[in-house]
Amino acid sequence: MRDRSGMALRVEADRLYLLDQSRLPQEQRWLAIDDVDALVEAIHALRTRGAPMIAIAAALLVAVRAERGDDRDALAEAVARLRRARPTAVNLMHAMDALADALAAPDWRAAVIASAEALHDGDRALCDALAAHGAALIGAGERILTHCNTGGLATAGIGTALGVIRRAHEQDKGVSVWVDETRPLLQGARLTAWELGELGVPYLLITDSMAAGLMAAGRVDRVIVGADRIAANGDVANKIGTYGLAVLARHHGVPFAVAAPHTTLDPACATGTAIPIEQRAAAEVRGVTGAAGELCWAPADAPVDNPAFDVTPAALVDHWVLDTGVFDAAAVAAGALTHGGAGLPAAAPG
């Protein structure tokens, strides 16, 4: 298997390495991931995260195990376990289904490796394509608000929503970014702020609660977010807090876009009500584990509700920015995100 590298993932001499995103930005620690247990733990703990990234990491681990001689039954078990590692981002299920198909081939070992490599290489291309489509939407000097992290840490390429912003910046459109900190795990404050700083994109870090006042003051020109799963009717599951942004954006007349590769589309989900929402540990809400140790500020036994995602109805989305083009509400209502629709290539899984 060819060596490969990216911002948060490497394969060297048939060994998978992942950048531990739970330690960023204070510490850049690479983890050698040699088996399914290690990757499932890394996905659960969001050491590796982002809808495309967890799919690609899972696929490349199975390919590494195939390269190391695991038999077909062991690989099939690995695919099944990894498919269940997180319930909301559909990219993971699509990737594992593709590898399960490869395992059914006569030359299954080579087919698994080729399928995983194609997923990794393909995601880079999907990011570039959707960034080009999305950047065309962006006007000069726009102040763009984004949520969570959707850049090179969350994908194999330049990212989804953050890829659009990066491309607009590279086109000298003079954009600036409001970065939602994104409670409870602070993917925005820790990861998006770090990525934009590295790229030299002007940004201001804000608390999630500040978005409303900024839109009321007319200081937000557009909202662009990522997605973990997009239903056939255009409903979008994304990081918790996204739905609130969509309501605010619609109330204040701010265009709201979702950026995602077509591998995030799930035509098997008719609407967002069918999308499983991951529930996460109470401790994440009660306090933040910082580099200096536990900083818990809530009562240790405070009852908590901690859904990792919410669903934004299609009625609140103005643009779906995909690698296959930009689609508005009329196109989505006409079936653009379903099998055979303009947004979903015929060969795409799901």
Largest CA distance in the chain: 62
Closest-by-Cβ residue to ligand LNRAV4D5 is: 226
**Are 141 and 173 contacting, i.e. CB atoms less than 8 angstroms apart?**
yes
Sheet of strand 229-231, all strands in order from the earlier edge strand to the far edge: 265-266, 229-231, 236-239, 309-312
Among residues 66, 93, 123, 160, which is the contact residue for ligand LNRAV4D5, using CB under 6 A? Answer: 160
List residues forming the annotated binding site for substrate: 49-51, 86, 187, 238-239
- Residue whose structure tokens are 């997923």: 119
Out of 228, 235, 266, 310, pick the active-site residue: 228
List residues forming the annotated binding site: 49-51, 86, 187, 238-239
Shortest CB 43 distance to ligand LNRAV4D5, Å: 9
Among residues 40, 275, 308, 331, which is the contact residue for ligand LNRAV4D5, using CB under 6 A? Answer: 308
* Strand ranges for 141-245 from DSSP E: 143-146, 176-180, 203-206, 222-225, 229-231, 236-239
Which residues 106-145 are close enough to bind ligand LNRAV4D5 by CB under 6 A? Answer: none
**Are 231 and 275 contacting, i.e. CB atoms less than 8 angstroms apart?**
yes
Which x/- pattern, by CB under 6 A, does the window 170-199 give for ligand LNRAV4D5? -----------------x------------
228 is catalytic: yes
Which residues 237-276 are close enough to bind ligand LNRAV4D5 by CB under 6 A? Answer: 238-239
d(CA 277, CA 239): 10
Which residues 42-81 are close enough to bind ligand LNRAV4D5 by CB under 6 A? Answer: 46, 49-52
Shortest CA distance to 62 belongs to which of 101, 106, 90, 99?
A: 99
Which residues 210-229 are close enough to bind ligand LNRAV4D5 by CB under 6 A? Answer: 225-228
Shortest CA distance to 97 belongs to which of 125, 123, 116, 70?
A: 116
Residues that bind ligand LNRAV4D5 in the complex, under the rule CB under 6 A: 46, 49-52, 148, 150, 154-155, 160, 187, 225-228, 238-239, 308
